[in-house]
Amino acid sequence: MTDFTPDEMMAIAASRALRNDDVCFVGIGAPSVACNVARLTHAPDITLIYESGTIGTAPDVLPLSIGDGELCETAVTTVSVPEMFRYWLQGGRITVGFLGAAQLDRFGNINTTVIGDYDDPKVRLPGGGGAPEIALSSGEIYITMKQSKRGMVEKIDFFTSFGHGDGPDGRKKHGMTTKGPTFLITDKALWRPDPATAAFRVVSLHPGVTRDEVRATCAWDVAFADDVDETPPPTAEELKVLRDLHARTKAAHALSGDPT
């Protein structure tokens, strides 16, 4: 078996969740990696949309910001930001919203606004950006993040984006008709909501990962499905695509003098 890192497993497992006919609203960072790996492997016709208004973009390297020029140059079309949010997101044309999270609870509620009290924060984070309405209007939500006790918490400090609230009726109570979070991809495992509680539980462990490792990196009480699978390891092709993408990205940024 080829060697791979937990980050690579996370990106590749996340990429596999996307289908060729998906229209995906892409968050920057880990979601952007996964979405572009999907496009370069099993989903060549996937429509990737970034909130800067670029629809059907196919960047050769990973963008550093949601508004990089290459997103526009390779897009089918670029629309204004109001049109992006009104016609394309609110209009119900997005099948999957792919988000990262600073703080996440077991119901898929996300905080990227503040740690501590809103008016007297311990840490002021950047805030929601497009996420509150992506979480509301996308057909379903995938979330990808590295596991840590600081990130995966019992109770989030601020509801930036609503997941399932506190249970299976949470979305209905707020008049939401979309599915909300249906999939969580971490560096340790794959998680799906338990239909009875709407709380994420582990359905698949990545190769070599133990249940204790999942518990040790998650602050909520981890539940496991009755039948927990082992995530298929990355194929040679998936790894090559991911590594080439990172290499191209690094080289492109070196060209513009970027020290990272």
Partner 1 sequence: MPRFQNLTDAVADNLRDGDTVAFEGFTHLIPHAAAHEAIRQGRKGLTLIRMTPDIVYDQMIGMGMARKVVFSYAGNPGVGLLRRMRDAVENAWPVAIEIEEHSHAAMANAYEAGAAGLPCAIFRGYRGADLARVNPNIRSVTCPFTGEELAAVPSIRPDVSFVHAQKANRRGDVLVEGIIGIQKEAVLAAARAVVTVEEIVDNFDDVHTNACILPAWTVTSIVEAPGGAHPSYTHGYYERDNPAYLEWDKVSTDRDTFTAWMKEHVLDATPSVFADRVAHLRKRP
Min dist. Cβ of residue 212 to partner 1 (A):
32
Token output for 155: 């109770």
Min dist. Cβ of residue 233 to partner 1 (A):
30
Selected from 54, 138, 144, 217, the binder of partner 1 by CB under 8 A is: 54
258 binds partner 1 (CB under 8 A): yes
Size of residue set near partner 1 by CB under 8 A? 56
Range 66-85, binding partner 1 (CB under 8 A): 66-69, 71-72, 78-82, 84-85
Q: Give the pairing type, strands 96-99 and 110-111.
A: unpaired
Range 135-164, binding partner 1 (CB under 8 A): 136-137, 158-162
Selected from 2, 5, 77, 90, the binder of partner 1 by CB under 8 A is: 90
Range 171-200, binding partner 1 (CB under 8 A): 171, 174-176
Q: Is 51 labeled as catalytic in the residue annotation?
A: yes
Selected from 45, 77, 86, 167, the binder of partner 1 by CB under 8 A is: 86
Q: How far apart are CA 216 and CA 210, in angstroms?
A: 10
Q: Hunting for tokens 């400090």 — which residue is that?
A: 157
Range 107-136, binding partner 1 (CB under 8 A): 113, 118-119, 121, 124-133, 136
The pair phi, psi for residue 24, each rounded to 5°, is: -115, 125
Q: Hunting for tokens 């596991």 — which residue is that?
A: 147
Q: Is the dihedral of CA 225, 95, 14, 161 positive or negative?
A: negative
Selected from 65, 196, 221, 236, the binder of partner 1 by CB under 8 A is: 65
Beta strands in 180-255 (DSSP E): 181-185, 189-193, 200-205, 224-230
Three-state SS for 35? helix
Selected from 31, 53, 108, 151, the binder of partner 1 by CB under 8 A is: 53
The catalytic position among 8, 51, 83, 238 is 51
165 binds partner 1 (CB under 8 A): yes
Residue 116 · residue 122 · CB < 8 Å: yes
Min dist. Cβ of residue 71 to partner 1 (A):
8
Q: How far apart are CA 43 and CA 23, in angstroms?
A: 11
**Per residue, what are the HEC states of 107-118?**
CCCEECCEEECC
28 binds partner 1 (CB under 8 A): yes
The pair phi, psi for residue 14, each rounded to 5°, is: -65, -40
Task: Give 3 or 120: the residue with its C-beta nearer to partner 1.
Answer: 120
**Cβ-Cβ contacts under 8 Å for 153 (sequence gap 6 or more):** 103, 104, 105, 219, 220
Min dist. Cβ of residue 126 to partner 1 (A):
3
In the 8-state DSSP scheme, what is residue 5? -
Residues labelled catalytic: 51
Question: Contact positions toward partner 1, by CB under 8 A?
Answer: 28, 51-54, 64-69, 71-72, 78-82, 84-86, 89-90, 113, 118-119, 121, 124-133, 136-137, 158-162, 165, 170-171, 174-176, 253, 256-260
